């Protein structure tokens, strides 16, 4: 009997802050590999017209690699249009929410939405051995330098990178 295993990808939506980081940290291809990405029109709009970040999103949408969708109802009315649209979409369609702006991130968590930020995603890529520690550290350093993430998040990320490295080195020695 032949058994075919297919990877079932989870649907995930994102806000503008996460998308800007995903492009600048060069992790978009990993995201496309891990999730069915869905973008709300409000997020697309607030990314603007003529900049590399917005162009990348438009190109991927045009290629059908990122879907467009919006929530039917607005359960929450907090924050700006893009964040609100992303949170409502995640809430309504039980999607994973990829978000880096800490205030709406915390609001989404309080509403029971499953959230992931760039730091956690980078750590996940390291744990899965899909990104090397030096690349993850470079990405974290970039976020720290640009003051784009909460210090608590980047510090936690750094601790996890050190711990994963320790475990991976131990595994390498025992195998």
The reply on whether position 127 binds other proteins by CB under 8 A is: no
Stretch that binds other proteins, among 30-38, 112-120, 122-130, 151-159 (CB under 8 A): 151-159
| Whether the Cβ atoms of residue 126 and residue 143 lie closer than 8 Å to each other | no
Of 12, 13, 16, 31, the residue at the interface with other proteins (CB under 8 A) is 16
The reply on whether position 53 binds other proteins by CB under 8 A is: yes
d(CA 82, CA 41): 8
| Whether the Cβ atoms of residue 140 and residue 154 lie closer than 8 Å to each other | yes
The residue count for binding other proteins (CB under 8 A) is 42
CA torsion through residues 50, 54, 57, 62, sign: negative
Q: How many CB atoms lie within 10 A of CB 141?
A: 12
Closer residue to other proteins, CB minimum distance, 7 or 77 = 77
| Whether the Cβ atoms of residue 66 and residue 57 lie closer than 8 Å to each other | yes
Of 13, 27, 140, 153, the residue at the interface with other proteins (CB under 8 A) is 140
Q: Which residues bind other proteins (CB under 8 A)?
A: 15-17, 20, 46-49, 51, 53-54, 79-84, 101, 103-104, 133-134, 137-138, 140-141, 144-148, 151, 154-155, 158-159, 161-163, 165-166, 169
């Amino acid at each position: 009997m032949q058994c075919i295993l297919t990877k079932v990808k989870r649907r995930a939506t994102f806000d503008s802050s996460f998308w800007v980081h995903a492009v600048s940290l060069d992790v978009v291809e990993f995201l496309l590999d891990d999730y069915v990405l869905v973008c709300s029109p409000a997020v697309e709009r607030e990314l603007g017209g003529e900049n590399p970040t917005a162009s990348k999103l438009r190109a991927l949408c045009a290629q059908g690699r990122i879907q467009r969708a919006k929530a039917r109802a607005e359960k929450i009315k907090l924050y700006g249009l893009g964040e609100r649209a992303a949170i409502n979409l995640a809430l309504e369609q039980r999607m994973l929410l990829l978000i880096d702006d800490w205030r709406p991130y915390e609001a989404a968590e309080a509403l029971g939405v499953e959230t992931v930020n760039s730091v956690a995603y980078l750590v996940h890529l390291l744990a899965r051995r899909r990104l090397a520690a030096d690349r993850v550290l470079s990405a974290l350093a970039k976020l720290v330098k640009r003051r784009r993430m909460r210090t608590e998040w980047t510090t936690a990320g750094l601790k996890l990178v050190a711990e994963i490295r320790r475990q991976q080195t131990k595994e390498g020695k025992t195998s």
